[in-house]
Amino acid sequence: MKKSILSFLLILCLILPSCFDLRDNPYASRTSFAMDTIIYYNVAHDGADELLDACEAATAALEASLSATMAESEVFRFNESADGIALSDDTAALVGLALEIHGVLPAYDITVAPLVSLWNVAHAGDGWTPPSDDDIASALALVGAERLTLADGVLSKPDADIAIDLGGIGKGWALGKAASLIDAAGSYGTVSFGGNIAVIGTKADGSDWRVGVKNPADPTHLCAKLDISSGIVAVSGGYERYAEYDGKRYHHILDPQTGYPSDSDLASAAVWVPGIDERSGALCDALSTALFVMGREAALGFYESGVYEFEALLIGADGTITATGGLYEDDGVWHIIKEEK
């Protein structure tokens, strides 16, 4: 049963891993770059080099399938196709999950690709201008994941111009894959994909991992901490990637129902899913995006529905954060700790 929802005032925050004392817990650490993000590994394992090689290989293989820009990827080939293509088992499973999530949360939609390309906020440079209302309306006419059909591994579309973008779920899938490889090897540690982090098992002393919650306006200060074990945390917010024009800021998270950057009452949404696998990572990634777009009231209503198991920090533009009940006392454990000033 979901616990009651509690609210309290905190500074706006994003999720980043806290510092680890490597003298007490020796880790094999590695930094790599894939899926347009920096990846950090901290893993305790006798065969750590081989294990991290396997994680990197799995991520590279997923990127080769899920990238919207690599010409041989399945996503690219689907977008260029007239009516669809056959997908590999892994890609079909991911797309199937994306369509499942869209079915209960229309705020998450993988067919926003035409809008993403049109706005191009994530790669905006000097001279960037927002698209016209007419161009937005034309791109919005192609959005609607309910128009896609996935059957026997074949993803079909009724219009050749419909395109998909798995950027809001693919990184989570890859993060979950890496975490599951580490877990299956009997190891423990952390993997960070940009704003998403997986914590695997517990630390050597049996204690939970501590994930720091930072203030995006002042990243040198923590405002809270999460003490968790074996789970994935993802955060989405309008402060991460944005462009400015004529004194107005336009962030990169688009509302698939309006065609414009989301304009809810939230500044960011952080989600914790207590699982270590591809599905958990992808679900966490997509939920953080959808809840951010939906706004506080709708997000809390969805949490209470119990459709998926997750916890969340919903961070308002006014600085108020609403924490779902599972982030408080659970069998004597408080998962969220307010940072001392």
Task: For strands 14-17 and 209-215, give the pairing.
Answer: antiparallel
The answer on pLDDT for 14 being more than 50 is no
Angle (deg, nearest 10), helices 89-104 and 278-294: 30
Contact at 8 Å (CB) between 13 and 214? Answer: yes
Q: How confident is the model at residue 41 (pLDDT cuts 50, 70, 90)?
A: very high
Q: What is the pLDDT of residues 272-315, one digit of tens each?
A: 999 999 999 999 999 999 999 999 999 999 999 999 999 998 88
Please give the distance of CA 127 from its chain centroid, rounded to a whole number. Answer: 29
The answer on pLDDT for 18 being more than 50 is no
> Which tops the pLDDT comparison, 38 or 5?
38
Q: How confident is the model at residue 241 (pLDDT cuts 50, 70, 90)?
A: confident
Q: How confident is the model at residue 215 (pLDDT cuts 50, 70, 90)?
A: low
Residues 6 or more apart in contact with residue 205 via CB below 8 angstroms: 24, 25
At residue 19, the pLDDT reads 38
Q: How confident is the model at residue 223 (pLDDT cuts 50, 70, 90)?
A: low
- Prediction pTM value: 0.89
Q: What is the pLDDT of residues 44-64, one digit of tens each?
A: 867 788 999 999 999 999 999
At residue 293, the pLDDT reads 96
The answer on pLDDT for 2 being more than 80 is no
At residue 25, the pLDDT reads 46
Among 18-32, 99-113, 266-280, the range scoring the smallest mean pLDDT is: 18-32
Domains of the chain: 6-338 (3.10.520.10)
How far apart CA 295 and CA 172 sit, in angstroms, is 21
The answer on pLDDT for 8 being more than 70 is no
Question: Whole-number mean pLDDT of the chain?
Answer: 86
* Average pLDDT value for residue range 324-336: 65
The residue type found at 16 is: L
